[in-house]
């Protein structure tokens, strides 16, 4: 019996040590929801309602802020996802294109060599009076392939980098050397050793160039 009395006193002491603000808040909430609320003076009712309204408004503002943050995060995520998807599709063929560029360069060299030799001048007259040899027909076929390949690359967004006559740009050009020039200002490209290409706005092969210097 004595032990039960001690336990009861301990519980009463613990309850008396509770946070008075918390107890008051709980009591306020209880008063608003209880039937005894209507029996309170009007001024106390107004105070209790104002406190409850402030608490509810604060909670609503927090919920709105959280919802807006979540909505903004979702919009940013969708934007990043769309940008990554577009970039992935935009540059997905860059590796294949980079491997095709040496083929284009070899075709350019072959065509330039053919133009310098002018195979049509060595054409022999056939029985039908046509001035076209098998050699010239072969070059015409290669030239057609070259044009189709260049058209294909252009359709994928590949463009050649400007070289001769433009100012040297280390982002687009790779300087292999310099040479004195009276035709171009110093720091400008005077010769393209190898063509450069960009895929849309990305450099996939810098142009190898010779840069002008001021004559001595």
User: Both tokens of residue 202?
Assistant: 């990305």
Number of H helices, E strands in the chain: 5, 6
- Which tokens go with 105? 């360069």
Task: Give the tens place of pLDDT for each residue, 66-75.
Answer: 888 888 888 8
Contact 179, 212 (CB under 8 A): yes
Residue 21 backbone phi and psi in degrees, to 5: -65, -40
Positive or negative, the Cα torsion across 32, 34, 36, 39?
positive
Report pLDDT digits (tens) over 157-213.
Answer: 999 999 999 999 999 999 999 999 999 999 999 999 999 999 988 899 999 999 999
DSSP 83-122: HHHHHHHHSTTHHHHHHHHHHHHHHHHHHHHHHHH-GGGG
The Cα 111–Cα 117 span in angstroms is 10
For residue 116, pLDDT beyond 80: no
Query: How crowded is residue 136: how many other Cβ atoms within 10 Å of its Cβ?
Result: 18
What local confidence, expressed as pLDDT, does residue 110 receive? 80
Instruction: Find all residues with CB under 8 Å of 42, minimum gap 6, and list them.
Output: none
Question: Which range among 21-30, 67-76, 139-148, 158-167 has the greatest average pLDDT?
Answer: 158-167
CA–chain centroid gap for 71, Å, is 21
Query: pLDDT tens digits, residue range 63-99?
Result: 998 888 888 888 888 888 877 777 776 777 788 888 8
Model-level pTM greater than 0.85?
no
3-state helix/strand/coil string of 144-182: HHHHHHHHHHHHCCEEECCCCCCECCCCCEEEEEEEECC
């Amino acid at each position: 019996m004595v032990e039960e009395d001690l336990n009861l006193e301990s519980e009463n002491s613990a309850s008396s040590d509770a946070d008075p603000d918390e107890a008051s808040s709980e009591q306020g909430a209880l008063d608003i929801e209880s039937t005894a609320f209507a029996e309170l003076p009007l001024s106390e009712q107004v105070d209790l309602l104002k406190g409850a309204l402030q608490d509810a408004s604060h909670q609503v503002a927090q919920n709105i802020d959280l919802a807006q943050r979540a909505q903004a995060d979702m919009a940013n995520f969708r934007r990043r996802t769309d940008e990554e998807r577009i970039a992935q599709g935009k540059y997905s063929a860059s590796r294949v294109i980079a491997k095709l560029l040496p083929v284009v360069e070899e075709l350019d060299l072959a065509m330039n060599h053919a133009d310098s030799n002018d195979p049509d001048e060595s054409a022999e007259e056939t029985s039908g009076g046509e001035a076209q040899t098998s050699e010239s027909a072969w070059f015409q076929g290669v030239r057609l392939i070259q044009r189709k390949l260049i058209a294909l690359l252009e359709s994928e967004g590949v463009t050649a980098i400007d070289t001769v006559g433009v100012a040297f740009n280390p982002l687009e050009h790779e300087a292999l050397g310099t040479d004195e020039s009276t035709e171009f200002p110093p720091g400008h490209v005077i010769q393209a050793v190898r063509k450069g290409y960009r895929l849309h706005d990305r450099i996939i092969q810098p142009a190898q160039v010779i840069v002008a210097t001021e004559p001595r």
